[in-house]
Amino acid sequence: MRAFFARFKIFGLVMLGISAVIIVLFYNALQPKEVLPVYQPADFNPELVAPELSHVKKYHTIADFSLVNQNGDTVTQKDYEGKIYIADFFFTTCLTICPIMTDNMEYLQQQIADDPEVQLLSHSVTPEIDSVARLKEYAIEKGVIDSKWNLVTGDKKQIYELARKSYLAVKTDGDGGPFDMIHTENFILVDKDKRIRGTYDGTKKAEMERLLEDLKILKNSNQ
């Protein structure tokens, strides 16, 4: 009789364990995954959106580009194929917000150093000053890891059009001419499908932590 109850006790414990696992699995299945929004031009402050894009509510992506990095290598959208990346706009002679932004990009670089899925992309807004040699000097000074972070220069009009019409990072005024100048603190999170998934103030450390949390959500959601 005692042996029977001992066997029943073991059976009961096993069933209790199985039930607990099933409950946990059901709970996890019913919990909705956190998913980042996909930002469209219509979601942004109208001041940041070119009039011809203001009505766009879906399918907005970062346009193709061809620029040159700190090593003199051509960088295109193909280099970011299958990657998540964080983009910003800076210039090496900036003495106001850019040093803070670069420090925060370097902090992000540390956090993603071992993550092959994530890269960084910084565009010079004074390409006539920021030559390849100057970008290389700046990259060495700031501890840029070439395999993780491209500092790019190139055609000014192309860079300014990317900022205004692709990344939606700055006001739309200007034509990319010699007297046109953009200055923005925005960091932009771009997914593997070239879509904007978040914007952040690149001068604030708290925003970097928010960006890193959003990066985790983006990677976990596979969207």
Reported as type and span, the H/E element at residue 60 is none
Can you give the residue ranges of every domain in the chain?
A: 1-31, 41-221
- Over 70: is that where the pLDDT of 20 sits? no
Distance separating alpha carbons of residues 96 and 13, to the nearest angstrom? 65
Distance separating alpha carbons of residues 133 and 106, to the nearest angstrom? 20
Q: What is the mean pLDDT of the chain?
A: 89
Residue 22 pLDDT: 56
Query: pLDDT per residue over 27-49, tens digit each?
Result: 444 445 789 999 999 999 888 88
**CATH class of domain segment(s) 41-221:** alpha beta
Residue 212 pLDDT: 98
Two tokens, residue 132:
């390849």
Helices 205-221 + 98-112 axis angle, to 10? 40
Query: By mean pLDDT, which of 27-36, 112-121, 162-171 is the weakest?
Result: 27-36
How far from the centroid of its chain's Cα atoms is residue 166's Cα?
Answer: 14
Higher per-residue confidence, 210 vs 7: 210
Count the residues in the chain. Answer: 223
- Over 60: is that where the pLDDT of 207 sits? yes
Higher per-residue confidence, 97 vs 172: 97
Higher per-residue confidence, 18 vs 126: 126
Query: pLDDT per residue over 41-73, tens digit each?
Result: 999 988 888 889 988 989 999 999 999 999 999
